[in-house]
């Protein structure tokens, strides 16, 4: 299954960012510290036209600190880019964003040349919570679901510092399958875009390999780390369902309910501090995804050349959410 989610308002957000960035000094891209590569929007490099960028690994208190350090080093090595980890509910670290922006654009500041910053990110990454922390009051609507913010707003954090908030935006087609599952597990895509059981299996595949001890401890599996790592995902999900009481008539495990419980536990930190990818892993996924995408385009081109499929009709309608066929 390929996970895709690009509602109409995200199409409008894309257009708004392209227009707004013309007068922007620094771009803050909020990333989920549990999946920094998967939560980095590949459209942003294009839309922000090479502006200085601050990568903020938000929710670092939920992530594996060793892997967070790897990701910070990865992004800090990129040109015109700074990166820092953040828990958006803490005021002191959040204020560091303002200093980082002035470091990236040292010629801005003061009433004549105020700092103009665009903040963007995928849905449910914590932008609104961060903005409210910076502002010191409820300046932006928050919610634990994808797509809460729907319109752009300007917020003055100081007399010479303006922050432009934008709705959360994904990208029209996710070419890295692993990213789709990671985004679904984190809550960045709408519920109707994925199957809970399939996301739970993919999540278990990562957890049993990288965090078997945490998995065994949370669900009292009574297995060694080696045994957890070797167990099929379906068996682990059944064991979790039995342990958590997700049972149907006759004592059979309700896998849908077990999957929902596992995903909820991951999001709520009940399993432990987990990061689903490293820079090296994501780079390999990306290269494989791009290669598969090129092959897909080549096949479509060949079929089109032979007249087996018709060229896509141009339309001005905004893209709507879709679920790829299995």
Listed range (211-220, 270-279, 290-299) with the worst mean pLDDT: 290-299
Q: What is the pLDDT of residue 265?
A: 97
| Percent of the chain whose pLDDT exceeds 70 | 84
Domains 8-165 and 195-267 share a fold: no
Q: Is the pLDDT of residue 121 over 80?
A: yes
Write down the domain spans for the chain.
8-165, 195-267
CA distance 213 to 228: 8
3-class secondary-structure state, position 17: helix
What's the mean pLDDT in 263-281? Answer: 97
DSSP 8-state symbol, 151: S
Distance from CA of residue 103 to its chain's centroid?
26
d(CA 218, CA 246): 15
3-state SS assignment for residue 70? helix
At 318, list the tokens.
């905004």
CATH of 195-267, one of 1.20.1050.10, 1.10.1580.10, 1.20.1300.10, 3.30.499.10: 1.10.1580.10
Do 29 and 101 contact (CB within 8 A), yes or no?
no
Name the maximum alpha-carbon separation found in the chain.
Answer: 73
- pLDDT for 8-52, tens place per residue? 556 677 777 777 888 899 999 999 999 999 999 888 878 887 899
- pLDDT tens track for 162-203: 999 888 777 778 889 999 999 999 998 888 888 999 999 999
What is the helix, strand, coil percentage profile of the chain, to 5?
Answer: 50, 15, 40
Sheet holding 115-121: strands in order across?
Answer: 81-86, 53-58, 26-32, 115-121, 161-165, 153-158
**Most confident of the following: 96-105, 266-275, 284-293:** 266-275
> What is the homologous superfamily of the domain 8-165 according to CATH?
P-loop containing nucleotide triphosphate hydrolases (3.40.50.300)
Q: Are the C-beta atoms of residues 276 and 35 closer than 8 Å to each other?
A: yes
pLDDT at residue 240 in the model: 97
């Amino acid at each position: 299954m390929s996970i895709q989610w690009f509602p109409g308002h995200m199409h409008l957000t894309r257009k708004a960012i392209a227009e707004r960035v013309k007068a922007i000094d620094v771009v803050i891209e909020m990333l989920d510290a549990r999946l920094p590569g998967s939560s980095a929007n590949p459209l942003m490099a294009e839309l922000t036209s090479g502006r200085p960028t601050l990568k903020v690994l938000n929710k670092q208190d939920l992530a594996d600190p060793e892997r967070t350090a790897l990701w910070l080093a990865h992004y800090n090595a990129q040109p015109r880019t700074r990166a820092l980890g953040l828990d958006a509910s803490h005021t002191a670290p959040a204020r560091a964003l303002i200093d980082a922006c002035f470091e990236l654009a040292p010629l801005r500041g003061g009433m004549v040349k105020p700092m103009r910053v665009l903040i963007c990110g995928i849905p449910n990454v914590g932008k609104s919570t961060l903005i409210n922390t910076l502002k010191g009051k409820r300046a932006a609507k928050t919610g634990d679901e994808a797509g809460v913010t729907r319109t752009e707003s300007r917020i003055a954090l100081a007399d010479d510092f303006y922050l432009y908030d934008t709705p959360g935006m994904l990208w029209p087609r996710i070419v890295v399958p692993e990213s789709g599952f990671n985004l679904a597990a984190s809550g960045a895509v709408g519920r109707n875009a994925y199957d809970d059981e399939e996301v739970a299996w993919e999540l278990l595949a990562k957890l049993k390999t990288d965090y078997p001890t945490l998995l065994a401890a949370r669900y009292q599996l009574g297995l060694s780390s080696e045994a957890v790592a070797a167990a099929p995902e379906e068996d682990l999900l059944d064991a979790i369902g039995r342990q958590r009481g997700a049972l149907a008539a006759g004592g059979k495990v309700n896998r849908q309910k077990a999957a929902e419980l596992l995903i909820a536990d991951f999001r709520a930190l009940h399993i432990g501090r987990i990061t689903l990818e490293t820079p090296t892993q994501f780079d390999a996924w990306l290269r494989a995804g791009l290669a598969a995408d090129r092959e897909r385009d080549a096949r479509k081109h060949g079929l089109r050349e032979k007249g087996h499929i018709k060229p896509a009709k141009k339309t001005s309608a905004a893209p709507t959410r879709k679920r790829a066929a299995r």
